[in-house]
Structure 1
Amino acid sequence: MAKNEPIFEVELLDAHTTFTLREFCERGAVHAEFVIKLVSYGVISPVEEGDVREWSFDLPALARLRKAQRLQQDLDINVPGLAMSLDLLDDVQQLRREVDRLNRQLRQLTGEG
């Protein structure tokens, strides 16, 4: 390794960054057919719908794709199972945020926070 060569590269992306289907597949290391199947089952959604060639995806869709890949690899879940599992995980995350919010509100009301 050269003296000043970086060990790894980090790409900073804007929160509004979108990816074409091709870019999305490259970043997720998946085939377009898999992405199309995930979209058809509601696992991920393109930002720009319409013809498949016009689809674009955002960072949350990329994060969801990676989560779906981990579930599929670790638990051998099929695509319909991925859709249900990810929806349930989203529900759990939302409920945890709500519990945290309510706990903060309770602490404020009782003078503990």
Structure 2
Amino acid sequence: MAEQPGYILSGTIIDEQVELSLDEVSTFCAVRREEIVILVEEGVLEPVGAQADDWRFGGDSLRRATKALRLQRDLEISPGALALILDLMDENDRLRAQLALLRHR
């Protein structure tokens, strides 16, 4: 396999137990704060805290936010539909996992 010069990959591993601020989520997702606020308003993300400046997001929210933003960008899905679509995708994943467990018995 040929090596590609000039490509350096870097990343940050986020544990699901980690709590992130609104600014941290927007930074990790490479979007403006307002885009994360819209995801919260549409029910895609459910932070802990009363005001946007106090919001705390778990690591699973970061995963959900990146998936939502990718769907929105790639498929032009409206913010209002994202929560439903992501819930259905999560349910599909849970059902597939249950089916895999049943098959291994």
TM-score scaled by length of structure 2: 0.83
User: Which structure's relative contact order is higher, taking Cα pairs within 8 Å and 6+ residues apart?
Assistant: 2
Contact 2:16 2:60 in 1 (8 A): no
The runs of at least 4 consecutive aligned structure 1 residues that moved more than 4 Å come to none
Calculate percent identity across the aligned residue pairs. Answer: 33
Report matched runs for 1:93-104 at 5 Å.
Answer: 93-104=93-104
- SS of 2:104 mapped into structure 1: helix
Question: 1:23 — aligned with what?
Answer: 24
Shift in CA distance, 14/98, structure 1 to aligned 2, threshold 3 Å: closer
Tell me the number of residue pairs that the alignment of Structure 1 and Structure 2 aligns. 99
- Give the match for residue 61 of structure 1: 61
Q: Which runs of 5+ in 2 are unaligned?
A: 1-6
Structure 1: gaps of 5 or more residues:
1-5, 106-113
The CA RMSD over aligned residues, in Å, is: 1.7
Tell me if 1:10 matches 2:11.
yes
TM-score scaled by length of structure 1: 0.78
Shift of 1:102: 1.3
Name which one, 1 or 2, has greater alpha-carbon Rg: 1
